[in-house]
Amino acid sequence: MQTIRFQGLVHLREQILNSPLDEYVAVILDDREIDFDSNYLHRLTDVASDIDATITYCYYRERLPDGSLKNHPVIDYQPGSIRDDFNFGPVVLLNASDVIATTESISEESIADIPVEAQWYILRLEISSGKVIAMVPEYLYTARACDLRKSGDRQHDYVKADRELLQRHYQEIFTTYLKSRNGLVNPEREDVDYDSEAFPVEASVIIPVRNRAQTILDAVESALSQKTDFNFNVIVVDNDSTDGTREKLEAAAALDPRLVVVKVSADENLGIGGCWNKALLSPECGRFAVQLDSDDIYNSKDTLRKIIDKFRSGNYAMVVGSYTLVDFDGKRLLAEDITHSEWSDDNGPNNALRVNGFGAPRAFFTPVARQFLFPNVSYGEDYAMALRISRTYRIGRIYESLYLCRRWEGNSDADLSVEKENEHNYYKDCVRSIEIIARVRENHERRKENGPTWQEMLFGPNGIQSVFDHLSQDDEEDDDELNFGFSDDDDEDEFNDEDEGFDGDGSL
């Protein structure tokens, strides 16, 4: 069996066609040297043959600079594993005939401008349609470790200027894929009525917290110091802190009645999402619920007013601002603010399935948030809520930085193990799976069309226009084009998307 280093779709196809015919081919996805265990090919080929898998991959080991080995497990592929950075490891076993069948309509000219990384994204989205993807939880090869940075230092790589063009390609590829599965959101958004019911205040700043004695009063002061022409309060949900956080909050609340402290006991078993629900459902919660993490601060006294003004300027169930990444002392860490300029009103809810977050600060129209509620987890809870809202309602954007996101050693995501990163990624893929299935099903039931069922549209390859078909055709459907965001006057050096992380109280 041959081993091919991936250099593009046409190169892979030609390498397969010009080599002795094998049912499977091992493909190396990056430039690392690979040391295969003696039973690697035999084991993966056996699994692939037994279940007719189109992609088979496995756990691997990384060789560190000192020569030691570190295990690197990977996670199962789900219907929602559609983000462009899904980690198969540096090697996959592909069904050769599936590759040929999937790429037969593609030409060198049609993909000449598409980066190699994006070509792999096209292939694995297409080749997986209606096929089995198998993950073997066994360590079967060793690769040189290529990125030794801590997890917190890698999270915002996507904001680097040289990633913009690649992200544009990823977004177009994914949107085409989603359209072919009838998974685009309904462009007709539901309206909300801001004044349909009474609330004690116009806005509540919500701060879930556990053991943040060092930072919580900074966050509270940042919220209480907001200048507005409407009434607001600050609801801090203390999740059974044991480091003096609760005592500091009680003392602060005694001095300012706008500070509401909700005390959670350990036996309630609440994550961050559960703490948010506790605040949302409390009688003190205002018309709009605005996020602030317990170790971050708003960057001006006008932040709250700008968020509420954005709600009132349109018809939004959620508003998301922009933020500046800083160290603990407030020193800027990146030249660019995190603005999510790739967002557009029509395609943003679709592309959100591909990326790992929506941005910050996040704010919600309380009746809508109460309708859905947050999942009771401590990672991805906000992403799940935002995806659900984006399926049905409009989301407003503020591209001005409103928020200082502090990166410091106290962040719970500062140095995650591989296993913990996998846990987080697996959960968000699960959220995506639920959401994409729900969108495809809703679209099918709404249109009541004859033809493939919604299950066939999502999981089956028959009768579905592929990304390859799209690339092979002249674009004659201008009326159906979606706005992919990125303002026209942006040059390719300015991009503000990122591999979203979270700073201790929620994902960004």
- Give the CATH number for residue 341: 3.90.550
| Inside any domain, residue 258 | no
Q: What is the pTM of this model?
A: 0.88
| Inside any domain, residue 360 | yes
Averaged pLDDT for residues 52-75: 96
pLDDT on residue 306: 98
| Inside any domain, residue 348 | yes
| Inside any domain, residue 423 | yes
Please give the Cα distance from 291 to 409 (Å, whole number): 22
Taking Cα atoms as reference points, which of 277, 284, 294, 281 lies closest to residue 377?
277
**110 in the same domain as 53:** yes
| Inside any domain, residue 412 | yes
Averaged pLDDT for residues 346-354: 95
Buried b (16+ CB within 10 A) or exposed e, 317-342: bbbbbbbbbbeeeeeeeeebbbbbbb
Averaged pLDDT for residues 387-407: 96
Q: Return the minimum-mean-pLDDT range out of 6-15, 23-32, 465-474.
A: 465-474
pLDDT on residue 422: 96
pLDDT on residue 491: 40
Share of the chain above pLDDT 90, in %: 74
| Inside any domain, residue 42 | yes
**364 in the same domain as 450:** yes
Residue 246 vs residues 235, 262, 387: alpha-carbon distances, Å: 13, 10, 32
What three-state secondary structure class fits 165? helix
**364 in the same domain as 295:** yes
Averaged pLDDT for residues 59-79: 96
**86 in the same domain as 29:** yes
**473 in the same domain as 373:** yes
Check whether 472 has a pLDDT greater than 70. Answer: no
| Inside any domain, residue 405 | yes
Which of 115, 148, 181 terminates a domain? The answer is 148
Check whether 485 has a pLDDT greater than 80. Answer: no
What's the domain count of the chain?
Answer: 2
CATH number of the domain where residue 38 is located: 3.90.550.10
Please give the Cα distance from 148 to 64 (Å, whole number): 8
pLDDT on residue 487: 47
Torsion of CA 234, 237, 241, 245, to 10 degrees: 0
Residue 5 vs residues 8, 11, 15, 92, 305: alpha-carbon distances, Å: 9, 10, 10, 10, 54
**506 in the same domain as 453:** yes
**486 in the same domain as 442:** yes
Taking Cα atoms as reference points, which of 349, 316, 311 lies closest to residue 436?
349
Check whether 462 has a pLDDT greater than 50. Answer: no
Confirm if 60 and 137 have CB atoms less than 8 A apart.
no
> What is the chain's Cα-based Rg?
24
**413 in the same domain as 390:** yes
**182 in the same domain as 68:** no
pLDDT on residue 471: 56
> Is residue 390 classed exposed, middle or buried when 0-12, 13-18 and 19+ CB atoms within 10 A define those classes?
buried
Which domain, by its residues, includes 493? 151-201+223-233+266-508
476 contacts: CB under 8 Å, gap ≥ 6: none
Averaged pLDDT for residues 365-393: 97
Which of 111, 129, 148 terminates a domain? The answer is 148
**115 in the same domain as 61:** yes
Buried b (16+ CB within 10 A) or exposed e, 346-385: ebbbbbbbbbbbbbbbbbbbbbbbeebbbbbebbbbbbbb
| Inside any domain, residue 259 | no
pLDDT on residue 21: 79
If one compares 294 and 491, the residue with the highest pLDDT of the two is 294
**482 in the same domain as 458:** yes
Please give the Cα distance from 402 to 185 (Å, whole number): 28
**187 in the same domain as 93:** no
Averaged pLDDT for residues 316-321: 98
pLDDT on residue 103: 92
Buried b (16+ CB within 10 A) or exposed e, 177-197: bbbbbbbbbeeebeebebeee
pLDDT on residue 445: 87
Which of 117, 148, 179 terminates a domain? The answer is 148
